[in-house]
């Protein structure tokens, strides 16, 4: 076996895009590791590093040479290789030459296409040093970079200009070029604290060299922890706590190599502006962490993270305060200007904003949302008038200057402007919350009217885009249909609203049909799309796929009812009788399938006749169904399954003592009807035959 050494590669660049840095780092690690595996260098564990000016990977246990490999090559057919006297033709000589052997090293082998020449030998493995640069370049070319750039007079393209490359296998430099830059062992430290070159003796010393001599924390995860601790400490020093934001923490970590946190302040007079606007300004424009008190109220202070350990930290603090003030002043200006126009007065402006070339303007979409919210308000526990009004106005804040500057405040600012316009709390709260849930784990709209508008918004979006463009494909989902579908079913399930999804989407389609769209035919695909999102929703919660399929097999489209059935089946599967009952149901299903078409039979219609085991099962089924059916109607599915599970002794005895496929047709049909009635009972909650019969 070849000796194994640790590989280190560092690509030094101009400043990399901070929001993409973590994804680039992980993609480079995975891509390089995969390329080395393909090159048969048997790489071990890989660790990724990244700072604003570098991407790096260290991989343990890379083989110094590929293993030798047995090879076999088929050549030309024998009749094409030799003439009638057996003399070799050019085809045979050329094949031997391409294999690097004499003609007599070849052999003849029979194949399904006739006799052919063959060469078998051993191909010596190449040295890792000859393969690694190509593996690195391949991994770099496959990075998820939407737009690459060219610099200087060369033809090399990458996300940013490359300034240096470190490439070590053990303590030796792997000679070569990466994207036109010669390899070496010299890295670069912090741009200001240690700008000169630093030699890396071996891969194991990489982090310590950069930290101790270069003032660079190259490990992204470690640097992120350092930023988090420093921000928390600085906020505490200012008398508060930082407002949690994982995305901002990632971005700030990607902007600094030697993080130093410090707190600053701003004029408390700005606090009359909605806190969400101030927070967006501090986060989005300055990458600062807002600070709140123990009750969650915004304080007139912030925490900034510098990329330098200044000898005059107060000057750095004052500099941040000078920069942040005009940003907050902008937010204050937008707030004051937007309030000069009532929210409802902006409605006509939506006529000029095209939502979709085939679905009309945002005004038409608002009209559909308002009508749909009113129609379903009572079923969703909301006031129909407030729901309709909120549906009409929920997109008006898109025309405000504040949302134009901070798009993430859609809905939130609409709620504020609705209150300022005297729309009433129910309408304002519904507008503010109708985008919720906006992401996995996000809360639902806090009011019934907000829930009604959120449901109407998503239903219109799903049916509309399915009608205009069809379902999203691959990674392309420009209208966020996957998020909308999951948000819709979450509103119905977690909001405990028992609404028929199919009827809801048909109602949304009716409004689109009035605009000339053929929307009705998109309802079933949209329903199936929502149910598929439900599959992911439950799998993430640990529900087995078979349990989901057992409920989905009934074809229901009430998400809340679906949830109650899923919960009952999930709990039922952990009980002792569940496996036996699922196994019996599979057996019943197979028997009925082989027997031909046996329609649904009500358990209440069973006649207690025949053999004793047959009569006992029929009587037991009648009794069980008498208790299970009312439980099913009350949606108490767990109780229904528990009652049916108590039929296990009668079911076991029936299969032990009774021959279903009796020669007497009347007896056979009676017993098949009994099994069909059992199937009906079991399918009252889910298709139990689909449950796994082992744990």
pLDDT tens-digit map of 344-360: 999 999 999 999 999 99
What is the structure's pLDDT at 2?
A: 58
pLDDT exceeds cutoff 90 at 85: no
* Same-domain pairing of 334 and 368: no
Reported as a single tens digit per residue, the pLDDT across 157-206 is 899 999 999 999 999 999 999 999 999 999 999 999 998 899 999 999 99
What is the structure's pLDDT at 1?
A: 46
Reported as a single tens digit per residue, the pLDDT across 568-589 is 988 887 777 677 777 777 888 8
Which of these three, 541, 556, 590, is where a domain ends? 541
Q: How many residues does the chain have?
A: 695
Which of these three, 338, 359, 379, is where a domain ends? 338
Quickly state the pLDDT bin for 106 (edges 50, 70, 90).
Answer: confident
What is the structure's pLDDT at 591?
A: 86
Report pTM.
Answer: 0.82
Reported as a single tens digit per residue, the pLDDT across 310-353 is 989 999 999 999 999 999 999 999 999 999 999 999 999 999 99
Quickly state the pLDDT bin for 154 (edges 50, 70, 90).
Answer: confident
What is the structure's pLDDT at 279?
A: 96
Give the Cα separation of 45 and 659 in Å (integer). Answer: 60
Query: Is 560 among the domain residues?
Result: no
What is the structure's pLDDT at 417?
A: 97
Q: Quick one: which of 582, 585, 563 has its CA closest to 573?
A: 582
What is the structure's pLDDT at 659?
A: 86
Give the Cα separation of 272 and 550 in Å (integer). Answer: 55
Q: Quick one: which of 273, 261, 319 has its CA closest to 300?
A: 273
What is the structure's pLDDT at 105?
A: 85
Q: Quick one: which of 453, 559, 562 has its CA closest to 500?
A: 559
* Same-domain pairing of 572 and 488: no
* Same-domain pairing of 472 and 388: yes
- What share of the chain in percent tops pLDDT 70? 99
Query: Is 550 among the domain residues?
Result: no
Q: Which of 241-250, 424-433, 543-552, 579-588 has the highest mean pLDDT?
A: 424-433
User: Dihedral of the CA atoms 397, 399, 400, 403 (nearest 10)?
Assistant: 70
* Same-domain pairing of 61 and 179: yes
What is the structure's pLDDT at 397?
A: 97
Query: Is 15 among the domain residues?
Result: yes
pLDDT exceeds cutoff 60 at 527: yes
* Same-domain pairing of 534 and 391: yes
Query: Is 287 among the domain residues?
Result: yes
Mean pLDDT of the chain, nearest integer:
92
What's the whole-number mean pLDDT along residues 360-366? 96
* Same-domain pairing of 157 and 264: no
What is the structure's pLDDT at 595?
A: 78
pLDDT exceeds cutoff 50 at 452: yes
What is the structure's pLDDT at 283?
A: 94
Which of these three, 191, 212, 233, is where a domain ends? 212
Quickly state the pLDDT bin for 69 (edges 50, 70, 90).
Answer: confident
What is the structure's pLDDT at 473?
A: 84
What's the whole-number mean pLDDT along residues 280-300? 94
Tokens of 14: 């101009």
Query: Is 26 among the domain residues?
Result: yes
Q: 524 forms bridges with which residues in the sheet?
A: none
What is the structure's pLDDT at 109?
A: 86
* Same-domain pairing of 201 and 104: no
3-class secondary-structure state, position 281? helix
* Same-domain pairing of 525 and 624: no
What is the structure's pLDDT at 596?
A: 75
* Same-domain pairing of 271 and 148: no
What's the whole-number mean pLDDT along residues 626-645? 91
What's the whole-number mean pLDDT along residues 633-662? 88
Query: Is 408 among the domain residues?
Result: yes
Give the Cα separation of 540 and 363 in Å (integer). Answer: 37
What's the whole-number mean pLDDT along residues 356-371? 95
Query: Is 559 among the domain residues?
Result: no
Query: How many domains, the chain?
Result: 5
Residue 430's CATH number: 1.10.3210
Report the interhelical angle of 523-539 vs 481-494 (nearest 10°).
Answer: 70
The radius of gyration of the chain from alpha carbons, rounded to an integer in Å, stands at 35
Residue 669's CATH number: 1.10.730
* Same-domain pairing of 474 and 591: no
* Same-domain pairing of 423 and 529: yes
Query: Is 584 among the domain residues?
Result: yes
What is the structure's pLDDT at 695?
A: 55
- Residue 96 belongs to what domain range? 69-123
* Same-domain pairing of 48 and 76: no
């Amino acid at each position: 076996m070849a000796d194994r050494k640790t590989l280190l590669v560092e690509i030094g660049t101009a400043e990399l895009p901070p929001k993409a840095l973590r994804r680039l780092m992980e993609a480079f690690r995975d891509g390089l590791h995969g390329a080395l595996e393909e090159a048969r260098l048997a790489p071990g564990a890989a660790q990724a590093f990244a700072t604003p000016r570098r991407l790096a990977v260290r991989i343990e246990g890379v083989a110094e040479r590929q293993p030798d490999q047995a090879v076999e090559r088929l050549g030309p057919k024998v009749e094409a290789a030799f003439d009638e006297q057996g003399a070799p033709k050019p085809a045979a000589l050329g094949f031997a030459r391409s294999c690097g052997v004499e003609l007599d090293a070849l052999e003849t082998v029979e194949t399904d296409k006739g006799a052919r020449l063959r060469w078998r030998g051993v191909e010596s493995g190449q040295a890792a040093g000859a393969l690694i640069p190509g593996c690195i370049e391949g991994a770099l070319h496959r990075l998820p970079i939407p737009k690459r750039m060219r610099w200087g007079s060369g033809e090399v393209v990458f996300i940013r200009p490359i300034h240096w490359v470190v490439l070590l296998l053990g303590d030796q430099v792997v000679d070569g070029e990466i994207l036109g830059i010669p390899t070496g062992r010299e890295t670069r430290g912090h741009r200001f604290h240690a700008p000169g070159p630093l030699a890396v003796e071996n891969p194991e010393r990489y982090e310590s060299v950069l930290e101790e001599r270069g003032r660079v924390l190259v490990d992204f995860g470690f640097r992120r922890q350092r930023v988090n601790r420093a921000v928390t400490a600085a906020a505490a020093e200012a008398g508060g706590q930082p407002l949690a934001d994982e995305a901002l923490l990632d971005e700030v970590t990607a902007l600094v190599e030697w993080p130093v946190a410090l707190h600053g302040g701003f004029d408390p007079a700005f606090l009359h502006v909605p806190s969400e606007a101030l927070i967006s300004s501090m986060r989005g424009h300055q990458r600062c962490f807002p600070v709140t008190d123990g009750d969650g109220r915004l304080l007139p202070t912030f925490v900034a993270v510098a990329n330098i350990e200044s000898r005059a930290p107060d000057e750095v603090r004052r500099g941040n305060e000078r920069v942040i003030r005009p940003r907050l002043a902008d937010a204050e200006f937008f707030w004051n200007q937007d309030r000069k126009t009532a929210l409802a007065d902006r409605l006509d402006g939506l006529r000029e904003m095209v939502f979709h070339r085939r679905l009309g303007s945002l005004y038409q979409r608002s009209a559909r949302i308002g009508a749909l919210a009113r129609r379903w308000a009572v079923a969703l526990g909301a006031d129909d008038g407030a729901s309709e009004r909120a549906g009409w106005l929920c997109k008006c804040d898109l025309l405000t200057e504040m949302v134009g500057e901070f798009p993430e405040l859609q809905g939130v600012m609409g709620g504020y402007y609705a209150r300022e316009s005297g729309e009433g709390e129910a309408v304002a709260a519904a507008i503010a919350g109708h985008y919720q849930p906006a992401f996995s784990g996000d809360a639902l709209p806090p009011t019934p009217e907000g829930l009604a508008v959120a449901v109407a918004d998503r239903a219109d979006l799903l049916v509309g885009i399915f009608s205009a463009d069809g379902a999203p494909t691959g990674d392309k989902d420009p209208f966020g249909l996957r998020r909308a579908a999951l948000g819709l079913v979450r509103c119905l399930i977690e909001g405990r609203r028992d609404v028929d999804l199919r009827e809801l989407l048909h109602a949304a389609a009716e409004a689109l049909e009035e605009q000339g769209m053929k929307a009705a035919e998109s309802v079933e695909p949209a329903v199936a799309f929502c149910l598929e999102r439900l599959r992911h929703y439950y799998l993430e919660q640990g529900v087995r796929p078979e349990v989901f399929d057992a409920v989905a097999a009934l074809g229901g489209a009430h998400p809340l009812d679906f949830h109650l059935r899923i919960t009952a089946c999930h709990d039922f599967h952990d009980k002792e009788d569940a496996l036996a009952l699922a196994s019996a149901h599979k057996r019943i299903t197979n028997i009925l399938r082989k027997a031909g078409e046996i329609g649904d039979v009500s358990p209440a219609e069973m006649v207690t006749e025949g053999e004793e085991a047959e009569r006992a099962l029929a009587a037991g089924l009648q009794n069980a169904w008498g208790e299970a059916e009312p439980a099913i109607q009350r949606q108490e599915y767990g109780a229904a399954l528990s009652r049916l599970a108590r039929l296990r002794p009668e079911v076991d005895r029936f299969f032990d003592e009774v021959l279903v496929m009796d020669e007497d047709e009347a007896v056979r049909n009676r017993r098949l009807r009994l099994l069909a009635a059992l199937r009906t009972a079991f399918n009252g909650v889910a298709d139990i035959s689909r449950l796994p019969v082992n744990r």
